[in-house]
Structure 1
Amino acid sequence: MLTLLLVMGKHSFFFLSLRRSFHWSPINETKLVSPELLTRICRLLVLRRFDSVAKLPIKFSDDIIIDILRNLRLNPDACLGVFRLALTQPKFRPNYKCYCNIVHILSKARLFDETKLYLKQLVDVSANTHLPIRVVWAELVKVYREFEFSPTVFDMILKVYAEKGLVNDALYVFDNMGKCGRKPSLRSCNSLLSSLVKVGQYDMSVCVYDQMVRVGITPDLFMCSIVVNAYSRSGKVEEAARFIEEMECMGVEPNAVTYHSLMNGYVNQGDMVGAKGVMNLMADKGIARNMITFTLLMKGYCKQFNMREAENLLCEMKEWVVDAHAYGILIDGYCQMGKMDDAVRIRDLMLGSGLKMNLVICNSLINGYCKNGQVNQAESVALQMVDWGLKPDCYSFSTLINGYCREGCIREANILVDKMIHKGVEPTVVTYNTLLKGLCREGAVDDAMHAWHLMVKRGVRPNEVGYCTMLDGFLKRERLDEAFRIWKEILARGLATSCITFNTMLTGLCKMGKMAEAEMVFQKMIDLGCSPDGMTYRILNDGYSRNGNVERAFIIKDMMKNNAISPSIEVHNSIIGGL
């Protein structure tokens, strides 16, 4: 039996409590738990007398929990009981070390549901306390080596990190499992690859797949399909097609999901010949076409505005029950082209088939009408949504606000913002950016600034787009002091990350003939590691040429060439005009 010693120092309760979420108040541990009391607690837990333990005069702390868990590590029921009891305490939550102990104990007892539950909580605790993955991992390894238990926990926490989308932490676990003599399971590997693709790390997912094969993981159909999807989404469709051939050599037969990923890759590249070729390949392989097959083709034709072929597919799909998603793609295609009569025709056809309207289709119609300048019809769709049992969301309102702003109806746009708040729909930064853009376009920068202050007051954090809009608005009105104030905020918040922001500032300064200030902004751009693009050089070239500094304009042109950017005809014309 271990004797509990609460001593001030590196492992003191005070030190550990600092790492807890601020939601939990630290306990002022004033009484030591005697060895006799600790023995009594353990005995009661073994006898499953948890109510009696709850009545004992003890204050839970991380050290007490760890001591009990280590004493009773071969009795998982007792450990689970005391841990659950600890979680019910009003001013105490176990720290990451407690969790590392309990998950190993439960895993050893094959109580995998409980293990996964507490692994999820361990991840949440470490996230709330900003604890690095290396610290959590080190503790898990330490407990594993002390207990000499099964390393199953390592595989399980890899899957938990992956499922939560914490791919960097999952990769850390994957890279370090080999040091503990543990190879990740196929299911955990699939979860990791799937999460990498989900967050857009396509190249990384392929690299990790190669590493998995090297450590002896035998890929299954699901894993191979994820890799095909990664290649396809990253635009490497030919590599995806070659990988499918490799699958067959490995004895893994592609299925409809695999081929649909490849089809989607061709569709996203606008290669309908390639997409139809995949569909024919599926037929040759004896893989039945389904709704997804035709929906992907329909999406491709709509992206190319080939609505005749897209609508013909609707007729071919009659042998299946055509769903609202397929109709929605066709409706959106017509809306993108501004053919609202055809969009409404397909909508009525869908409703006649017994299907119901959904939010996505309503938003497509609202967007289509607004693009056509038919804002009243767009608002009618929003009003009809109530009859269809739907509620406009933030996108619905933001699209309508944009429509009103484009028509110069700023008052209506402002009213709509208030209306959406009244209906319980919180405006996002996109909503406010739309309103700011409309106000600045009309030259109402003071009204835009008022909207800006309301946005901040309502807890919406401005982003680079909003700052850039306000910057452009002040510069166009030649209100340089306000423009520089916004510019300083942009730099202070680290939002000057794209050429668009720098080019906005440079355009305004050059038009006002403030070339010295423009040169400072250009230098700041280089210092911050933002590479100037063709537009940057063209703005500066035009500014120097119009101000008669042709020598500097020639230097800018040479800088373009040195950075592998070919000077456009406009650049040459600006220099000629300045001579």
Structure 2
Amino acid sequence: MLMASVTGIFSPFPPPTISCQLVSKPALALTQNKPDPKSNYSSSSSRKALSSSIKAATEGMDERTRRIAKEVERQKAQEARERKEIMNRKIASQKAVSVILRREATKAIIDSRRRKGPTNPKKLLPRTVLEALHERVTALRWESALKIFELLREQLWYRPNSGIYIKLIVMLGKCKKPEKARELFQSMIDEGCVLDCESYTALLSAYSRSGLLDKAFSLLEEMKSTPNCRPDVFAFDKVHCLLSDMAIHSIKPNTVTYNTLIDAYGKAKRFSEMESTLMEMLADRDCQPDVWTMNSTLRTFGNIGQIETMERCYDKFQGAGIQPNVQTFNILLDSYGKAEDYKKMSAVMEYMQKYHYSWTIVTFNIAIDAFGKAGDLKQMEYLFRIMRSERIKPSCVTLCSLVQAYARAGKLEKIDGVLRFVENSDVLLDTIFFNCLVDAYGRLECFAEMRSVLEMMEKRGCKPDIITYRTMIKAYSFKGMHSHVKELRELITMVQRPPLKRKKPDF
């Protein structure tokens, strides 16, 4: 079970209230006037009057009944039309998705124009393709989004649109794909789209998210020399000079400008510049901080272990009316995990559950890794079970955390359980996972299993890197197995250096 909720750090948000008012329908009382046997209806005038009254009442009821029946029929017809429209949209969407999924296999046929008719991929409905593109951009499925965008550009009705390009560039920035973003930016230029501050800012954000400060600064200089496109953001190592230049040209920075600067300075660990930029933003009445400002600030102080400063900033942002989102709580979880404050971690997780902030894969990965490092295998496994019950697919980061935790605890049988899970899942494994596995077996002195990892890598299409062999060499050297060390030293000269580290998912 998770620990008690936060007291003192988080001011609780009032939960939403739903008022349900039950309204009872009044009963329809049908009364029938029975004739008085003592009454005299013998006179013809009385009978005629009664007959006329009954006839008028009957005609009125018939007319009312006909109106009600007509209204019911009209509503039924409208509902039928709406159901038909919804069904037609679903069918059209299914057909479009089917065409998109078969696109690669039928590309040669499309190019040769042998495929014709209403299902021709070059004659898809604009709404269908644009909706499919929007869904994938929103879900940050960048590979699928780019394929659909290529299909969009092949349509007979396609015209270059800078808005679509900007949305894709922003998506690629969030996915840490700055080079892909630059390629789209160049395609945007080649297709004759008008470049403005928004398009440049989108690419600038992509660079800053990945910490490419030199490219970001070069882009700022490029903006200055672009006709009719004066930048609304100058930043980084020459920020004071550039901000002065902005003031001369009467260019005021906006919220996006400040957020980009704060985030970039934080990732570059240039804390004094970050704090001064934040103070300038707060002093500017036209630029209000938002949740992205808060998240960048919290992430910066959390990463350097200044937990109290992070918490004070959280309180001040919240006091200013800025409400946190899931990314905010993921940042807090990661910061508390690094500080080994597991009580506050549990409190944040309970807070998210209480106020219905859905846990993401990043949330689970942070918590699983933190409790695994703390040796709390029971809590780690409990979170992993919740993750699977929520139908959130584990990633290599998840599996690495499990393997490392079991290795530290000396639980060889648990590592075998992780491998059984891998065999029955479609998780895409990478070299980093196998390196974790090699390190785990080396710690446990299971050298036969450690050697077998190389065969597993070959079956999965992963190549060993320098870290793989160095980890094995370290394990063999510790046990004095010099012949194996010599063999591996010969192999290490033929491999390339791996990336410095796995890219951390954006909170």
How many Å apart are 1:499 and its aligned residue?
1.0
1:96-136 C-alpha deviation (Å, 9 max, x unpaired): xxx5xxxxxxxxxxxxxxxxxx4xx4443447999965799
Moved more, 191-200 or 344-353: 191-200
Q: Secondary structure at the match of 1:184?
A: coil
Q: Please report how far the alpha carbon of residue 494 of structure 1 lies from its aligned counterpart in structure 2 after TM superposition.
A: 3.1
What do residues 458-497 of structure 1 show as CA deviations (whole Å, max 9, x unaligned)? 5544322112101100011211111211122123213252
**1:332 maps to which of 257, 263, 271:** 263
Size of the aligned set, in residue pairs, is 402
Tell me which amino acid in the other structure corresponds to 1:289.
R
User: What does residue 281 of structure 1 align with?
Assistant: 225
* Alpha-carbon spacing, 1:272–1:128, altered in 2? closer, same or farther (3 Å): closer
Residues 1:320 and 2:261 aligned together: no
Distance 1:130-1:86 versus aligned 2 partners, 3 A rule: farther
For 1:185, the equivalent position in structure 2 comes to: 157
- 1:290 counterpart = 2:228: no
Kindly provide the amino acid, as one letter, of the partner of residue 316 in structure 2.
Q
Q: 1:349 aligns with which of 245, 268, 280?
A: 280
Query: Which of residues 214, 225, 236 is equivalent to 1:270?
Result: 214
SS in 2 for 1:385: helix
> SS of the residue aligned with 1:88?
helix
Give the drift of 1:377: 2.8
- 1: distance between equivalents of 2:252 and 2:301? 29
> 1:287 corresponds to which letter in structure 2?
N
The letter of the residue matching 2:156 is P
Structure 1 CA distance, aligned partners of 2:213 and 2:263? Answer: 19
Structure 2 partner of 1:22: none
Give per-residue Cα distances to partners, 1:379-399, cap 9 Å, x unaligned. Answer: 233233332222111111111
| Number of the residue aligned with 2:80 | 85
Kindly report which structure 2 residues correspond to 1:91-490, keeping only aligned pairs within 5 A, or say none: 94=87, 99=88, 118=89, 121-126=90-95, 141-142=116-117, 161-162=132-133, 164-165=135-136, 168=147, 171=150, 184-187=156-159, 233=180, 255-256=195-196, 260=200, 264=204, 268=212, 270-271=214-215, 274-275=218-219, 278-279=222-223, 281-282=225-226, 286-291=227-232, 295=233, 297-298=234-235, 301=236, 306=237, 309-318=238-247, 319-336=250-267, 343-354=274-285, 355-490=287-422
Contact 2:295 2:327 (8 Å CA) reproduced: yes
2: CA distance, partners of 1:330 / 1:473: 37
Q: Which has the larger radius of gyration?
A: 2
Using the TM superposition, give the Cα deviation of residue 530 of structure 1 relative to its aligned residue in structure 2, in angstroms: 0.9
Contact between 2:466 and 2:496, CA under 8 Å: does it hold in 1?
no
Moved more, 464-473 or 492-501: 492-501
Aligned CA RMSD, in angstroms, stands at 4.6
User: Is the CA contact (8 Å cut-off) linking 1:490 and 1:496 kept in structure 2?
Assistant: no
Q: Which structure's residues are more often helix, by fraction? A: 1
Partner of 2:42: none
Secondary structure of 2:225's counterpart equals helix
Displacement after TM superposition at 1:503 (Å):
0.5
- Once the two structures are superposed, residues 520-550 of structure 1 have per-residue CA deviations (whole angstroms, 9 ceiling, x without a partner) of 1211111110111111121122223333333
Assess, with a 3 A threshold, how the Cα gap between structure 1 residues 122 and 255 changes in structure 2: closer, same or farther: same
Could you say what secondary structure the match of 1:386 adopts? Answer: helix
Separation in 2 of the partners of 1:536 and 1:200?
31
3-state DSSP of counterpart to 1:365: helix
TM-score, normalised with respect to structure 2: 0.65
Q: Note the C-alpha offset of 1:332.
A: 3.2
> What is the TM-score of this pair, normalised by structure 1?
0.57
Counterpart residue type for residue 262 of structure 2: I
Q: Match for residue 223 of structure 1?
A: none
Percent of matched pairs sharing the same residue:
14
Gaps of 5+ in 2: 1-68, 137-144, 499-507
Is the counterpart of residue 514 in structure 1 residue 446 in structure 2? yes
Equivalent AA in structure 1 for residue 245 of structure 2: E
Partner SS, residue 493 of structure 2: helix
Amino acid of the residue matched to residue 380 of structure 1? R
Asked whether 1:502 is paired with 2:401, we answer: no
Aligned-pair distance for 1:158? Answer: 5.2
- Give, in whole Å, the separation in 2 of the partners of 1:345 and 1:493: 49
Rounded Cα–Cα distance in structure 1 between residues aligned with 2:308 and 2:213: 36
- Report the Cα offset of residue 500 of structure 1: 1.1
Over 3 Å counting, the alpha-carbon distance change for 1:366 and 1:341 in structure 2 is same
Contact 2:170 2:203 (8 Å CA) reproduced: no
SS state at 2:334 partner: helix
> What is the Cα deviation at residue 448 of structure 1?
1.9
The Cα shift of 1:413 comes to 0.9
Letter in 1 for 2:426: G
Q: Secondary structure at the match of 2:214?
A: coil
SS at match of 1:187: coil
Q: Greater shift after overlay, 358-367 or 488-497?
A: 488-497
Separation of aligned partners in 1, 2:123 and 2:356 = 46
Q: Which moved more, 1:350-359 or 1:417-426?
A: 350-359
Aligned partner of 1:540 among 461, 472, 483 = 472
**Counterpart contact for 2:162–2:193, Cα < 8 Å:** no
Distance across 2 between alignment mates of 1:332 and 1:413:
24
Measured in 1, the distance between the counterparts of 2:276 and 2:163 equals 43
* CA distance 1:420–1:127, change in 2 (3 Å): farther
1:415, 1:378 → 2: CA distance? 16
Contact 2:396 2:428 in 1 (8 A): yes
Q: What is the rounded CA distance, in whole Å, between the counterparts of 1:236 and 1:168 in structure 2?
A: 14
